[in-house]
Chains A and B, each alone.
Chain A
């Protein structure tokens, strides 16, 4: 019975699959040094930035796409992608100048871009295709010395900060996609929280891919100086298209002494249709460094979209007494594939990390957790606890766990627990008998399963995440 229901629930449609009819400026497809130069020129970048891009591009040419992930990735023709698409109009100075079509798009996405809506206390930087459109609340934040702007603006107005921190956590030599991003990245967000400042509102970026055949390569750089605090949200959507679209982002976080950074993502890129046609290929490098003593970084992610997800938000625990957390819910349905997890690199003394991963697989999807916990020789008293749970809906999907541990200090305590469970027919019938339909029962059970992670999200995001979990699995259990 449950198979029939699982089959049914997995047939839901992507609800954000609209495109926005606005003029875009796209450069021709293909990648070479000339394209890198064009992108840099279009953004009026200084020489050092162009040099960085070119070095990254030359390095990228020496690399091959990695194949170690538990993913079946169709060949990607990097010469058939356009590496830059921008809404054609010049950067708006105020909300009135923003293309009304664009505003409508954000409206449909439920983004509080308009300042009156911003009473909810979220500052938003919206990145559409390749260009950052508008950052709300900039003035309010500036009074506290907080910088929250698009990456391009940061390059222009805060070159010292960008030069100091960019690529310090994820160098362009890190991996294939990091090199590609470093060569062609178009825009993204930049955050700097000065010493002792507690950012009074959630900072938020929404990414949306709109134009056909474009890749989106954004960079986010967050620097939290001594004794500061910031909570950062990232949301992602893309319209429904038959072709696969490429997304390769970089996120870098630097937490100085006693700083705390909380990074939350609800990723809802278009996952492709029921038969696996279309969808976003999401190859993202996210890494933070707890640079100062007593610093803290936490990653929370709810991953419901993308045809392919390749993503390991990681943390280097360099400062003594620093700590990091990774909370993840990854849902795959239909033909989606996800290989996601984290790396916790313990270098400082008395560092601790906590990993909680909840995978949910339905349809004929594959969901893998891949995690590395490394304890360096000098990391006295390192602690790690990892828990990886998998929930299966139906019997055609797969869940896999690949935990790696490298412990080079005998005072370390590293623990790993893993469970796999299925939604049982008896649980569904129990709910049915209380008047709850099978679809609602699945939603209830899945949200119950994911609760520990969803509870870590800021309120607004938590509500959205709960809805997404239910929508993603609609039609998937009987």
Chain B
């Protein structure tokens, strides 16, 4: 589904990704772990097309399409979703309006007619239940006045609404208490299917107690330096990252 080869990317002239390669197939859950500053969030930004980053080398293909040729909104409409580490507030724009625009853009991209009001409201209700989202939140402006946990929950709610093929969760666990973490993880698990894939970017193994990865990758200094099964996450939790750094530098 997603094939990244020898990816190099800069921000403000500074190279952050230095030859990263990764292949993700449908039905898989990949966890990407690594110390601060290793390039985890940069990877999600580059896949989704954040304009602050410049790709200098390498390729990203998504279901055979050259992703780097597409604008950010086209990548989204191809089915790539990013759950932001820091979701922004958009004052005055109601969640209902925002979601309806997003859904209709996606449908337009697929040459489908706009969603009817009743279907849309039904969809909203269904997905709100899935992520145990309070109606009070969906009646407000996008993320305005939401707590940290509510913002993260709102990201998963949007993911449920848009049903992406590839979901990237960027540090979705940070700032969540244990109940919110459980709700968010349940949402992600319920949305899992053999047809879609998930990338979980995280510092801690904690989230992986709830979302079981098929593969765990360690990102260090802009490259994936070690890959393994879910036991790798446990080992990282127990031993920290220093032994990885030593292995790389040896």
Task: Give me the interface of A with B, judged by CB distance under 8 Å.
Answer: 1, 424-427, 429-438, 440, 444-445, 447-452
| Option from A424, A437, A444, A447 in Cβ contact (under 8 Å) with B88 | A424
For chain B, give the interface size range: 20 to 34
Complex Cα distance A430/B50, Å?
A: 9
Complex Cα distance A463/B241, Å?
A: 57
Given known A-B contacts A444-B93, A448-B93, A430 and B48 have beta carbons under 8 A apart:
no
Q: Beyond A429-B50, A437-B73: 20 further Cβ-contacts under 8 Å?
A: A427-B90, A431-B73, A431-B90, A432-B49, A432-B72, A432-B76, A433-B48, A433-B84, A434-B162, A435-B73, A435-B76, A436-B102, A436-B105, A437-B71, A440-B105, A447-B92, A448-B94, A448-B97, A449-B92, A450-B92
- 19 interchain pairs (CB within 8 A)? A1-B51, A429-B51, A430-B84, A430-B87, A432-B49, A432-B73, A433-B72, A434-B101, A434-B162, A436-B101, A436-B105, A437-B71, A437-B105, A440-B105, A448-B92, A448-B93, A448-B94, A449-B91, A449-B92
Provide the residues of chain B in CB contact with A429, threshold 8 Å.
50-51, 72
Within 8 A of A (CB), among B101-145: 101-102, 105-106, 109, 141
Complex Cα distance A424/B48, Å?
A: 18
Provide the residues of chain B in CB contact with A426, threshold 8 Å.
88
A-B contact count (CB 8 A): 77
Complex Cα distance A430/B93, Å?
A: 13
Provide the residues of chain A in CB contact with B77, threshold 8 Å.
435
Provide the residues of chain B in CB contact with A438, threshold 8 Å.
73
Instruction: Return the chain B residue nearest A440 by Cβ.
Output: B101
In the complex, the answer to whether B90 meets A445 with C-beta atoms within 8 Å is: yes
Provide the residues of chain A in CB contact with B162, threshold 8 Å.
434-435
In the complex, the answer to whether A432 meets B98 with C-beta atoms within 8 Å is: no
Shortest Cβ distance from B86 into chain A, in angstroms? 8
| Option from A1, A430, A431, A448 in Cβ contact (under 8 Å) with B91 | A448
Within 8 A of A (CB), among B129-169: 141, 158, 162
Shortest Cβ distance from B92 into chain A, in angstroms? 3
Complex Cα distance A250/B72, Å?
A: 49
Provide the residues of chain A in CB contact with B93, threshold 8 Å.
444-445, 447-448
Instruction: Return the chain A residue nearest B92 by Cβ.
Output: A448
Complex Cα distance A306/B94, Å?
A: 31
Shortest Cβ distance from B172 into chain A, in angstroms? 15
Provide the residues of chain B in CB contact with A436, threshold 8 Å.
73, 101-102, 105
Instruction: Return the chain A residue nearest B82 by Cβ.
Output: A433
Instruction: Return the chain A residue nearest B91 by Cβ.
Output: A448
Provide the residues of chain B in CB contact with A432, threshold 8 Å.
49, 71-73, 76
Instruction: Return the chain A residue nearest B51 by Cβ.
Output: A1
Complex Cα distance A431/B141, Å?
A: 13
Complex Cα distance A436/B88, Å?
A: 15
Instruction: Return the chain B residue nearest A454 by Cβ.
Output: B92
Shortest Cβ distance from B78 into chain A, in angstroms? 9
Given known A-B contacts A429-B50, A429-B51, A429-B72, A434 and B98 have beta carbons under 8 A apart:
yes
Interface string of B164-197 (1 = CB under 8 A from A): 0000000000000000000000000000000000
Top 10 closest pairs, chain A to chain B, by CB: A448-B92, A448-B93, A432-B72, A434-B102, A435-B76, A435-B105, A1-B51, A435-B77, A432-B73, A451-B92
| Option from A431, A435, A444, A450 in Cβ contact (under 8 Å) with B106 | A435
Complex Cα distance A251/B73, Å?
A: 47
Which one of B76, B92, B98, B106 has the highest number of Cβ atoms from chain A below 10 Å of its Cβ? B92
Which one of B50, B71, B101 has the highest number of Cβ atoms from chain A below 10 Å of its Cβ? B101
Provide the residues of chain A in CB contact with B71, threshold 8 Å.
432, 437
Given known A-B contacts A427-B90, A436-B73, A444 and B97 have beta carbons under 8 A apart:
yes
Provide the residues of chain A in CB contact with B49, threshold 8 Å.
432
Provide the residues of chain A in CB contact with B94, threshold 8 Å.
448
Complex Cα distance A445/B142, Å?
A: 10
Instruction: Return the chain A residue nearest B97 by Cβ.
Output: A444
Interface string of B13-50 (1 = CB under 8 A from A): 00000000000000000000000000000000000111
Which one of A429, A433, A436, A447 has the highest number of Cβ atoms from chain B below 10 Å of its Cβ? A433
Complex Cα distance A452/B162, Å?
A: 29
Complex Cα distance A433/B86, Å?
A: 13
Complex Cα distance A450/B87, Å?
A: 22
Provide the residues of chain A in CB contact with B52, threshold 8 Å.
1, 425
Complex Cα distance A436/B94, Å?
A: 15
Provide the residues of chain B in CB contact with A431, threshold 8 Å.
73, 90, 98
Complex Cα distance A440/B91, Å?
A: 16
